[in-house]
Chain A
Amino acid sequence: MMKIVTRLAAASALSMLASTAFAASLTVGFSQIGSESGWRAAETTVTQNQAKERGIDLKFADAQQKQENQIKAVRGFIAQGVDAILIAPVVATGWDDVLKEAKEADIPVILLDRQIEAPDSLYLTAVTSDQVHEGKVAGDWLVKDVGAKPCKVVELQGTTGSSPAINRKKGFEQAIAGHSNITIARSQTGDFTRTKGKEVMESFIKAEGGGKDICAVYAHNDDMAVGAIQAIKEAGLKPGTDIKVVSIDAVPDIFLAMAAGEANATVELTPNMAGPAFDALEAYLKDKKAPAKWIQTESKLYTQADDPKAVYDAKKGLGY
């Protein structure tokens, strides 16, 4: 009996040694904003998965939408002497002091999914998507899909004045500029929500001759597109064929709609910001060569040809 206990103890001591040795390879602190949206929950899950795959010991801090919590968490990471810090900044300003502290402690900082207003010498790099590019990818898809046919587009904007709404609108307009057959007939805000997306689409359909004149709807996020799809169905039209649906974000629910033939295309805002961040970090720690100050994530286009059901199954476990 005693023998077994000693053996077990020895084994667990060994495994503890092993795990500490393993963890000693890299410890990274991650200050996340919170979990205000499904996408953010997915970002957290993907970051944790990425860390696990690479054998990185991830210390996670949820700031519950408060910058002071993020600053506290970063100071905590510095005190623990982590090898690097990831921050998904909740606001753009007020980071200079704490970033200087990290720099003095010689801990590289990588920003995830949002930029900040601070001298770029204070952080290693920022990994974000390009929202204008996202809008452009959506627009390019439509341009290619309709060819030379005339196409009247209605647009469901994000929250008025928010940066994704401004940039995704801009990118789409850039893509269709020079294609006079494609015109934006109506553009209104759907506040990024399903309810408003549905309500606004209903009014668009009424205002444009019962919807028969509308060739496509471009929504700044998938949730509004899902609302619009319901409005199109209730007006007796077929979403995906009578009215094409293209949107941005690539949340799981839009893939269900795509599998049912009710949505045509979505542009992914990838929740995998940590992958490129860890790549850059590992390269930097290996040969001390600083990466570019901005790493742009891929804005991948998904259409009905990309096996939407499989993508849905892969994404639904991520916490969206």
Chain B
Amino acid sequence: MRKLKRLAPQIVALVLVLFAVTLAVPGFLSISVQNGRLYGSLVDICVRAAPVALLAIGMTLVIATRGIDLSVGAVMAITGAIAATLVADNQPLVVVLLVSLGIGLACGLWNGALVALLDLQPIIATLILMVAGRGIAQLVTGGTILTFNDPAFSFIGSGALFGVPMPVLIWLVAGLVVGLVVRRSALGLLIEAVGVNRRASSLVGVRSRFLIVAAYAISGLCAALAGMIVTADIHGADANNAGLWLELDAILAVVIGGTSLSGGRFSITASLIGALIIQSLNTGILMSGWPPEFNLIVKAAAIVVILTLQSPTVATALSGLRATFGSASRSNSHEPTGKAGARAK
């Protein structure tokens, strides 16, 4: 129940966005089964949200430690390029997956080492790989779009298991695994502690360095998965465009999910809903038939509204309004206090 209340703003926003799109595009919500797999715009949203959703999982942990990872888009390009090279070289699928994940992990460890061991500011530390990464990816592909024809690897991008498209399964499972690991153990709490006050956490014996490196490593792994999905999806590695600007969408997903950029409390589920909200806006705009000049304006306006509704000031004002009209439920009026209590921790 408490969990549901935490997610309420994100769920309401998602429902509102879907409702608005349905008004503009009748039949938007219909889902059918075609060729043995789920088919419909809602399915498209879940599939197309996969890269940002995966990035958002890692980004949530990094942001919870009071960091930020700008390199994830570039890491997607690198792993995509390497995966495509290996696939084009007829390597077995296991090798492709393991090497690509390994490269993503290495990128994450590099970022983590710069932040945790050398104490560089996260935004600068990860900027290095963000800028250099795309160059590395281009070196790997030789500056061209590296295409391949391999049904096994393409399955990651466009296949389906039990009617559910693979990209959706991948981000659901990744979210579930990471979520369970951090929430069924004390890890999540420790990560939040590091984000709120790294020095204090270290003093009470939390291995904050290790936790920070681990957060960036997971972010690198998630970026590797996302990179493989987009590469498999178009049967080619496009070093120039794979993951371009997706780091910003991932950060936005985390912020829509209500995780503060100054670290501390986080929710992976809320970030995933944030990713779905962003993709619902994207797909909704595509379906609406408006001229493309409006795309970014509509998206920006919707996001301003969503973030405004989540602002603590507005939330307090709203519950104040409710109180004046005498219909405030007990649970609602408790929310601001609850948040303040969590901050003090």
Contact = CB atoms under 8 A, between A and B. Distances in A.
Interface stretch (A139-147, A189-197, A291-299): A189-197
B144 A320 contact: yes
Interface core residue of A161, A202, A206, A319 (most chain B CB under 10 Å) = A206
Interface string A150-165: 0000000100110000
Interface string B201-213: 0000000000000
B238 interface: yes
B12 interface: no
A319 B145 CA distance: 11
Contacts of B25: 207
A195 B241 contact: yes
Nearest to A191: B241
Nearest to A226: B234
B102 interface: no
B243 to A, nearest CB: 9
Contacts of B35: 236
A319 B144 contact: yes
A189 B293 CA distance: 9
A194 B143 contact: no
B198 interface: no
Interface stretch (B118-126, B254-262, B283-291): B283-291
Contact of A157 (B44, B240, B289, B292): B292
B230 A206 contact: no
A38 B287 CA distance: 31
Nearest to B296: A160
B230 A195 contact: yes
Of the four ranges (under 10, 10 to 19, 20 to 34, 35 or more), the interface on chain A belongs to 20 to 34
Nearest to B290: A188
A198 B233 contact: yes
Contacts of B233: 195, 198, 230
B34 interface: yes
A300 to B, nearest CB: 22
B44 A41 contact: no
B234 A188 contact: no
Given A195-B238, A203-B283, A189 B295 contact: yes
Contacts of B240: 36-37
A204 to B, nearest CB: 8
A48 interface: no
Contact of B234 (A194, A235, A320): A194
B158 interface: yes
A320 B144 CA distance: 6
A167 B48 CA distance: 30
A198 B47 CA distance: 12
A199 B286 contact: yes
A200 interface: yes
A287 interface: no
B41 interface: yes
A41 B287 contact: no
B232 to A, nearest CB: 11
A195 B144 CA distance: 15
B53 to A, nearest CB: 15
A35 B143 CA distance: 7
Of the four ranges (under 10, 10 to 19, 20 to 34, 35 or more), the interface on chain B belongs to 20 to 34
B9 interface: no
A253 B291 CA distance: 29
B236 interface: yes
A253 B147 contact: yes
Contacts of B48: 199, 202
A117 interface: no
Nearest to B241: A193
Contact of A223 (B145, B283, B292): B145
Contacts of B235: 230
Given A160-B295, A195-B241, A202-B44, A41 B234 contact: no
B145 A227 contact: no
A187 interface: yes
A188 B292 CA distance: 5
Contact of B144 (A41, A157, A191, A202): A41
Interface string B257-297: 00000000000000000000000001100110101110100
A79 B293 CA distance: 46
Contacts of B143: 35, 38, 41, 319
A200 B234 contact: no
B253 to A, nearest CB: 17
B72 interface: no
B234 A227 contact: yes
A197 to B, nearest CB: 9
A53 interface: no
A230 B235 CA distance: 9
Interface in B138-194: 143-145, 147, 158
A320 B146 CA distance: 10
Interface of A: 35-38, 41, 157, 160-161, 186-189, 191, 193-195, 198-200, 202-204, 206-207, 223, 226-227, 230, 234-236, 253, 319-320
Given A193-B241, A206-B44, 8 more contacts: A160-B292, A160-B293, A194-B236, A195-B230, A195-B241, A203-B287, A227-B234, A253-B147
17 contacts: A36-B240, A157-B292, A160-B295, A188-B292, A194-B236, A195-B233, A199-B44, A199-B282, A200-B286, A203-B41, A203-B287, A204-B286, A226-B234, A227-B234, A234-B158, A253-B147, A319-B144
